[in-house]
Amino acid sequence: MDYDTIAAISTPAGEGAISIVRLSGPDAIQATDRLYKGKKRLTAVPSHTIHYGKIIDPDTERVVDEVMVSVMKKPKTYTREDVVEINCHGGMTSVNRVLELILDQDVRMAEPGEFTKRAFLNGRIDLSQAEAVMDLIRSKTDRAMNTAMDQMEGKLSRLVRKLRQQLLDILASVEVNIDYPEYDDAEIVTNQMLDDRSKKVRKEIDHILATARQGKILREGLSTAIIGRPNVGKSSLLNQLVHENKAIVTNVPGTTRDIIEEYVNINGIPLKLIDTAGIRKTEDVVEKIGVERSRKALRSADLVLLLINYHESLTEGDRELFQLIKGTPAIIILNKTDLSCGVSLEEVNRLAEGNPIIRTSLSQDQELSELENKISSLFFERGLSQNEEVCVSNTRHIALLKKARAAITDAIRASEKGIPVDMAQIDVKRTWEILGEIVGDTVSDSLIHELFSKFCLGK
């Protein structure tokens, strides 16, 4: 299907080596050629070649920019349409002027994500692969990038399509038995057969969902709250983990008045570190607001790093913090071990309730490898998924897989209760449809529009 021709700037705004204007559609090459001056007409050059020339303003005949123009003819392009990429000098003025001239050539400004949307609509990629494009752009670690690349290459798609085929086989067997019961050689569908095959599908869905926890962590990162009473070393810990002085460190309690957020890569796991204000009772109005924000960050955290002063005995504030972290994965950090021990280690062990405890001296810049290893083992007990495994990370996909599991479980229960298979097959078909939403085979136009509207402009 041929759509109209669209264009957008595909590189971030600001100064840089190059800026790229991308076009896609039936008139992409012709529209660019009307502004381009080089050794050859772009309409006459071979596909997948790049050419030096100049973009000329047709009204003033002045040179707007020296450019390198890539010409890619359908169908072997990102969108399966004719695609042109104009490589301009980096900067705001020239690239915007080139885009303005392109839009004057009966070319429309692309909507966010419209290039990838066209790749999906033209059948080059399915919906799960399209979503992986944004996962790749937003990945914060090599492992997250590899997970997104696996999905872009179709690992999840192939597995989902395999499951849908298994469900179709069940449905076909049911239909044969219903429509042609007099055929002796037709497979006689029984509740036991439907039960066995449905359980096999559910087992495979469970196997995929088993990777969801670590997949979501790799995609979104762990929201990690650094908490402790004032002046215990929270900001020092943040600075050491990010290898930069992001937070002010002083001996004055209450220096951190608000939460500070920073992403850091810990053994391939993205951590969204939140350095909180010290949680304590205070009459300072500004500090009170910071303490309340700290409590809010603590309630929504995936992981808590609780710092305790090794040199001093536990306070009521420390004991309150131990109560606050109950039910949340936590690592207890005994800081200031360069000083004499003043804390009751027996009480700390009791209050930790099995959470790992490490000792360090942040003021002495001690290695934090033990902390990093504890974080890895806490969330990835058996290590990260191997390359051959599918790691599902997208929240929408996880929700749909859970719905599919519930639907196939309904089919299993129906067969176990002896309900006729033509009734039980309704749940099998529903499972097939839900899985189709992952790859985009059974998805509404409104959902497609919503998903691609979250993409960046020019992608």
Q: What is the pLDDT of residues 87-131, one digit of tens each?
A: 999 888 889 999 999 999 999 999 998 999 999 999 898 888 888
CA dihedral 198, 202, 204, 209 (to 10 degrees): 160
Question: At 194, is the pLDDT very low, low, confident or very high (cuts 50, 70, 90)?
Answer: confident
Short-list 151, 144, 385, 148, CA closest to 265: 144
What is the CATH code for 131-211+391-440?
1.20.120.430
Q: What is the pLDDT of residues 251-264, one digit of tens each?
A: 434 444 345 677 78
Q: What percent of the chain has pLDDT over 70?
A: 85
Mean pLDDT of 271-284: 64
- In sequence order, the β-bridge partners of residue 88 are 19
Query: Domain 6-125 adopts which CATH fold?
Result: Gyrase A; domain 2 (3.30.1360)
Q: Could you count the other beta carbons within 10 Å of the beta carbon of residue 90? A: 16
Asked if residue 290 has pLDDT above 70, the reply is: no
Q: How far apart are CA 374 and CA 380, in angstroms?
A: 10
Q: How far apart are CA 384 and CA 393, in angstroms?
A: 13
Q: What is the pLDDT of residues 362-419, one digit of tens each?
A: 877 666 888 888 887 777 664 544 444 677 878 889 999 999 999 999 999 988 887 8
Residue 279 per-residue DSSP state: -
Q: What is the pLDDT of residues 49-72, one digit of tens each?
A: 999 999 999 999 999 999 999 999
> φ and ψ at 335, to 5 degrees?
-100, 160
Question: At 202, is the pLDDT very low, low, confident or very high (cuts 50, 70, 90)?
Answer: very high
Locate the domains of the chain by residue range: 6-125, 131-211+391-440, 220-379
Lowest mean pLDDT among 96-110, 189-203, 204-218, 266-280: 266-280
Mean pLDDT of 272-277: 73
CATH 3.40.47.10 fits 220-379, yes or no: no
> φ and ψ at 123, to 5 degrees?
80, 10
Q: How far apart are CA 372 and CA 241, in angstroms?
A: 9
- The sign of the dihedral angle between the CA atoms of 319, 324, 329, 335 is negative
